[in-house]
């Protein structure tokens, strides 16, 4: 089974040279720590920066330079700043190659819910609806089940949707899956996890073809 860093590590293997990538808050942020050797990517943060770097050294933080999680950051050589309209132009115009975000639920049709629990949590969608409606390539990073042990990979989302038919890949603590017309296609198992365990933790239609290999993380 993978921990959050393991999920980030597996997703990082999907990065390709030259990609512009938008990372959501939570597990997706960790992906920046595992960029494979020899690959150049640039991170976009939707509040208006391309070429985001690591956190600043103590004492060098600047209130005017933050990411979409409101964290102080630095910039890399070649970075740029821009306004919010241009930033979402990059996103809607599909200039950003890959979006990695968290989710509360994903359906077998690729629908995603991650912004609202009616009556409980209403923080807003931020940029998530723009990102999922526009990106060609969306990877969801999340735990396979919720705290109550219920599957988060469903036939149909129960929470208000963020976007419809948009998720292409899901990486969880148990598995790597692709969303196909028929449902979740199991591609890889997390280390030490059996196909049976993945089956039991997946409510949506799960497609298992042949032997399912175990993930290789390093």
Give the active site residues. Answer: 46
* CB 212 to another protein: min, Å: 31
Note whether 92 binds another protein by CB under 8 A.
Answer: yes
151-154 long-range Cβ contacts below 8 angstroms, 24+ apart: 151/201, 151/202, 151/203, 151/204, 152/103, 152/104, 152/105, 152/106, 153/106, 153/108, 153/177, 153/184, 153/201, 153/202, 153/203, 153/204, 153/206, 154/105, 154/106, 154/107, 154/108, 154/203, 154/204
Candidates 145, 151, 111, 144; CA nearest to 128 is: 111
Tell me which of 128, 139, 175, 177 binds another protein, using CB under 8 A: 128
Between 123 and 147, CB nearer to another protein: 123
Note whether 93 binds another protein by CB under 8 A.
Answer: no
Note whether 63 binds another protein by CB under 8 A.
Answer: yes
Tokens 């449902």, residue located? 183
Between 7 and 91, CB nearer to another protein: 91
Tell me which of 7, 21, 23, 73 binds another protein, using CB under 8 A: 73
Between 54 and 192, CB nearer to another protein: 54
Note whether 53 binds another protein by CB under 8 A.
Answer: no
Note whether 85 binds another protein by CB under 8 A.
Answer: yes
Candidates 127, 151, 17; CA nearest to 69 is: 127
Residues that bind another protein (CB under 8 A): 45-49, 54-73, 81-85, 87-88, 91-92, 111, 122-130, 133-134, 160-165
């Amino acid at each position: 089974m993978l921990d959050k860093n393991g999920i980030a590590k597996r997703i990082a293997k999907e990065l390709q040279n030259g990609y512009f990538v938008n990372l959501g808050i939570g597990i997706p942020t960790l992906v920046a720590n595992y960029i494979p050797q020899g690959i150049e990517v640039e991170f976009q943060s939707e509040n208006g920066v391309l070429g985001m770097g690591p956190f600043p050294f103590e004492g060098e933080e600047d209130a005017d330079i933050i990411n979409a999680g409101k964290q102080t950051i630095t910039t890399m050589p070649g970075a740029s700043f821009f306004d919010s309209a241009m930033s979402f132009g990059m996103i809607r115009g599909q200039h950003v190659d890959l979006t990695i975000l968290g989710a509360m639920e994903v359906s077998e049709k690729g629908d995603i819910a991650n912004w609202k629990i009616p009556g409980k949590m209403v923080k807003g969608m931020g940029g998530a609806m723009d990102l999922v409606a526009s990106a060609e390539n969306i990877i969801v990073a999340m735990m396979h089940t919720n705290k109550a042990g219920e599957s988060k990979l469903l036939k149909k989302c129960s929470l208000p949707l963020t976007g419809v038919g948009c998720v292409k890949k899901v990486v969880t603590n148990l598995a790597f899956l692709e969303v196909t017309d028929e449902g979740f296609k199991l591609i890889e198992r997390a280390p030490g996890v059996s196909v049976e365990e993945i089956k039991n933790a997946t409510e949506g239609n799960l497609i298992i073809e042949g032997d399912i290999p175990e993930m290789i993380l390093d």
